[in-house]
Every structure is written in structure tokens, then in C-alpha cells.
Amino acid sequence: MSDTVRIVEVGPRDGLQNEKTAISVADRIAFIEALVGAGLDTVEVGAFVSPKAIPQMVNSDQVLRGVSHLAGEFHVLVPNEKGFAAARQAGARVIAVFASASEGFSRANINCSVAESIARFGPVLSRAKADGVRVRGYISCVLGCPFDGEVKPQAVVDVAKALWDLGCYEVSLGDTIGVGTPLKARHLLRAVAGAMPMAHLAMHFHDTYGQALANLYAGMEEGARVIDCAAGGLGGCPYAPGATGNVATEDVVYMLEGMGIDTGVDIAKLLVATNAVSRLIGRPPVSRVAAALNAKKRIVSSE
């Protein structure tokens, strides 16, 4: 396998959007600073969505402005033109639009059909292009939907092609409810790579059924090289009942380093960031690697 993987850290957005505890702007900024300090240079930091839909992401403008001095690439979610205008006012240079491969989730998450969502993104992409803003495209429910059940790969291919044709520089495939298994992930990537370049596909796998690392490995064997993950395994979508967090960044970094792939991430510093945010939300990290490293630290410090 070639030895370059790009990591997109989504903890401050996907990770915190589902938390019951309100996290202050200052704490969100401190979390992002710690992530960047650990070597994660691409971080999704917020969302310009309806505050009724996702109250956790209010004040994303303050968060984005608050990290602008850091050397990193900061992404924010944008569902429509209203979100685009607000994101631009806050200085966004990279945004992400988000569609679904299934109708049920599209309706629940963004209150429109899949076709309507693509039509809605058209003007957003045009405005982004005019402003020199890069646009990432997400597709949710690529390996299953909490409302519609099985999702056919062709449905994902169609949405990926639409987002690519609209001008998204990268399409991130979301296993929103973490139901995928390695062979399905592999077949999906192969199918989507028939419609757009593999180099521009990202894997965004939630870990509900504990399959995310195996699915990532299978995707890497197909040639995928961009991985979305969240520090500590934080995350979930309020519109995906029962889904847990993204694959943990610690677990991904540990696996990649074990494969001889240099991620540029300092796992000890990442653990400090994860432990700090875990204290804020009042739960230990679900990451197995974070738990193992924390246990090791405790043993060493008690010796």
C-alpha cells in the first residue's frame, strides 16, 4: 500500500453535535487548538445549520473565527445558501455540503428529498466557486439507513457523481449508523470509484458495530486514502437513531503507524486533547487505543 493517508478530524463537529452537555465556545476552540497541536491539520470545526436542528453547533462563527490564527484547514458544514452566507461571513474557506443516499435519512436530516438536496447545493457550489471556496460533499447512509434499511451501491454512485459533477473536490462516504462490513465497504468503494476518482473519495465510518477499522482497511486495499475520524471516537448524528461515534482518531493513527504510514499525529498529544474533551462531556473515550494508553499511564504513574 502507498504510504500517504490524509486524516480529516471531525470531532469538534460530528463529535460534539450529539452531546447533551453544552460545550462553550472557549472549550470548543481549546479542543481544536489541542487537535492541531497534536498534528491534525484538517479539522471540521462546526456547522452553519438550523439552531433548532442542532443546537450544539450554535456559535460556529465564533469558533471558526477563534481558530483562524492556527495553521490548519478548517471545515464547516453548510446545508443551504443561508448557511453559506453565514459561513463566509465568518471567514470559511472550505465548506461541506451533505446529502444522503437514502430518502428516509435525507428527509429526517435536512427535510427534503435527495434530488431536492442536490438542487439546493447547486447555487451553493456556484457561489463557492465564485468566492474561491472549496467544497467537500458528504453522502450519508452509504452502507445502510436507519429508516429505509438496505441501501444499494448504485444509489451512492448516483449521489457521488452528482456531487462530483457539481464541483465538490472530495466526496466523503458516510456509514452513518456504522452497519457496514469490510466486503460491503470494499465493493462500495469500487463501485463509486467507477464514477469519480478514488483519490477524491474519503471514508467516514461510524463505529456502532465495531467494524469501522476493518472497513477502513478494506477501503485502503481498494486504494482509498482519505479517512475521517473523531478524537476519542466521539460523535453521532441526532437524526440517526442508535448510531454511535466516528471511528476514533487514536485507533486510526495506531493502525496506520503500525502499517508504517506516517500520519504526522503525535498520539500522546492527541490523548491529552481527547481526555480534556472527555472530562467536559463527562464520559471516558470509547477509543480502545485511548483506553489502553490511559491504563498504561495509570500503571506507570502508580509504579
- Select the binding partner of residue 74 from Mg ion, ligand HMG, none (C-beta < 5 to 8 A, by kind): none
DSSP string, 114-152: HHHHHHHHHHHHHHHHHHT-EEEEEEE-TT-BTTTB---
Contact positions toward ligand HMG, by CB under 6 A?
Answer: 14, 17, 47-50, 53-54, 77, 79-80, 82-83, 98, 109-111, 138, 140, 174, 176, 204, 206, 237, 239
Distance CA 210, CA 180 (A): 10
> Do 136 and 94 touch, CB atoms closer than 8 A?
yes
Beta bridge partners of 137: 97, 171
50 touches, from ligand HMG, Mg ion, none (C-beta below 5 to 8 Å by class)? ligand HMG
Residue 105, CB half-sphere, CA atoms under 13 Å: how many? 27
10 Å CB burial of residue 210 (0-12, 13-18, 19+) is: exposed
Find where cell 465564485 sits.
130
Q: Among Mg ion, ligand HMG, none, what does residue 226 contact (CB within 5–8 Å per kind)?
A: none
| 60, 48 Cβ separation under 8 angstroms | yes
Q: Between 74 and 98, whose beta carbon lies closer to ligand HMG?
A: 98
- Backbone conformation region of residue 53, classed left if phi is above 0, alpha if psi is from -120 to 50, else beta: alpha
Catalytic residue list contains 237: yes
- Give me the least distance between CB of 13 and Mg ion, in Å please: 9
Min dist. Cβ of residue 232 to ligand HMG (A): 16
Nearest to Mg ion of 207, 250 (CB atom): 207
Q: Which CB, 239 or 293, lies closer to Mg ion? A: 239
- Cβ-based nearer residue to Mg ion, 176 or 275: 176
Closer CB to ligand HMG, 157 or 271, in the complex: 157
> Which does residue 82 touch among Mg ion, ligand HMG, none (CB within 5 to 8 A, set by kind)?
ligand HMG
Contact range with Mg ion by CB under 5 A, out of 6-14, 39-47, 57-65, 214-222: 6-14
Among ligand HMG, Mg ion, none, what does residue 59 contact (CB within 5–8 Å per kind)?
none
Contact 162, 187 (CB under 8 A): no
Catalytic residue among 145, 168, 229, 237: 237
How far apart are CB 116 and Mg ion at their closest, in Å? 21
CB of 205 to ligand HMG, least distance (A): 8
The residue among 45, 37, 39 whose CA lies nearest residue 16 is 45
Distance of alpha carbon 212 from alpha carbon 195, whole angstroms: 24
Residue nearest to ligand HMG (CB): 174
Backbone angles phi, psi at 151, to 5 degrees: -120, 125
Task: Fill in the per-residue mask, 8 to 47: x = in contact with Mg ion (CB under 5 A), - = not in contact.
Answer: ------x---------------------------------
110 or 163: whose CB is closer to ligand HMG? 110
Angstrom CA distances, 200 to 98, 136, 251, stand at 16, 10, 23
Minimum distance from residue 9 beta carbon to ligand HMG (Å) = 13
Catalytic residues: 237
Binding-site ranges for Mg ion (CB under 5 A) = 14
